[in-house]
A = this chain, B = another copy of it.
């Protein structure tokens, strides 16, 4: 992971390289071997195919895998996809995970387990593979869907959900809402009444439960989460085609942010691409708002410095965090770390080269964003 940038002061580059990053929103790595098809599906946010004359490797993320992960597996950078996949298969999933996760330089992980978590390493598996403590972030909608799956009367839903959430979060460090996917962020921000919740639960459970997308229930889950007091993460911006990007603009959360301000619960806006400037405005305006550019860093590869730069405009430096939002191949956990470090070195090194910041300021901000801010928000000690 050694970086060589002509314009970046050596002390800054080294300090950033050595940061024990807190990845405040990630998922598990897959523990099983992956076919070419399976691997390629996991380096795209789309569930649809690319044109037949190309492969998912023909993208910024694909190029970044070949550039930065190939050397970790003992290959030349920029090798062919076939060569990369053959080496990956020969080494086997355990060794690939050990190499890529071990070289990510993580100090702490917060692992969100709510999306197909049974196919992936859980927090303890990730802790072992990364050599760093890992705690859990619980997805609100998954808890509710599990309650529905066990059979539940409409009138009992609210109580059963509260109980299940209390149980599931006994050792968790945070909560997550995927309202952006389920109903869009333009929902009515006020907490729904007991009657509204019971009615909506009735409609949902009568329909057999399953994917929870009723805005009344989505809001109820959020307000139950706020009650609990754990930091609450929101998916915002870029994601899979399931999402209407227009309705994933974090500015749509303004009403909820203002209503939730008295609770003192930190709200963490995840990813936000291409709305990172909107997120910066919110983080500047409201004391309870924090954000990251997680997923977008991996997906923009050689362009990720542009996102990181845009995230460092109006935000107070204590309000920005690091995440990878990796899910599945350990390449994504590794790249999140490598690309973020390279982007921060370029952007902050540029401020220094321009005569605008001192090296000491740059090191301090990198440490805040990569490590300290998350430790404070989540109370990681």
Q: Which residues of B contact A365 (CB under 8 A)?
A: 58
Q: Which residues of B contact A296 (CB under 8 A)?
A: 314
A64-B356, A254-B244, A281-B245 as given contacts; A287 in contact with B48, CB under 8 Å: yes
Residue A155, interface by CB 8 Å = no
Out of B50, B312, B316, B360, name the residue touching A318 (CB < 8 Å).
B50
Do the beta carbons of A45 and B312 come within 8 Å of each other? Answer: no
Copies of this chain, count: 3
Do the beta carbons of B49 and A287 come within 8 Å of each other? Answer: yes
Out of B281, B301, B356, name the residue touching A274 (CB < 8 Å).
B281
Do the beta carbons of A67 and B241 come within 8 Å of each other? Answer: no
* Binary contact readout A220-259 vs B (1 if CB under 8 angstroms, 0 otherwise): 0000000000000000001011001110010110100000
Q: Which residues of B contact A313 (CB under 8 A)?
A: 60, 299-300, 303, 306
Residue A379, interface by CB 8 Å = no
Once the chains are docked, how many angstroms separate the CA of A77 from the CA of B254?
Answer: 37
Do the beta carbons of B317 and A286 come within 8 Å of each other? Answer: no
A286-B46, A286-B241 as given contacts; A301 in contact with B356, CB under 8 Å: yes
Do the beta carbons of A63 and B357 come within 8 Å of each other? Answer: yes
Once the chains are docked, how many angstroms separate the CA of A64 from the CA of B356?
Answer: 7
Q: Which residues of B contact A355 (CB under 8 A)?
A: 4, 67
Do the beta carbons of A278 and B361 come within 8 Å of each other? Answer: no
Q: Which residues of B contact A240 (CB under 8 A)?
A: 285
Measured between C-beta atoms, what is the minimum distance from A229 to chain B in Å? 17
A285-B46, A309-B303, A356-B67 as given contacts; A58 in contact with B317, CB under 8 Å: yes
Once the chains are docked, how many angstroms separate the CA of A246 from the CA of B360?
Answer: 36
Q: Which residues of B contact A360 (CB under 8 A)?
A: 78
Measured between C-beta atoms, what is the minimum distance from A211 to chain B in Å? 17
Residue A284, interface by CB 8 Å = yes
Q: Which residues of B contact A4 (CB under 8 A)?
A: 355
Within 8 A of B (CB), among A261-285: 261, 273-274, 277-278, 281, 284-285
Give me the 4 closest cross-chain CB pairs, A-B, nearest first.
A302-B356, A241-B285, A274-B277, A54-B318
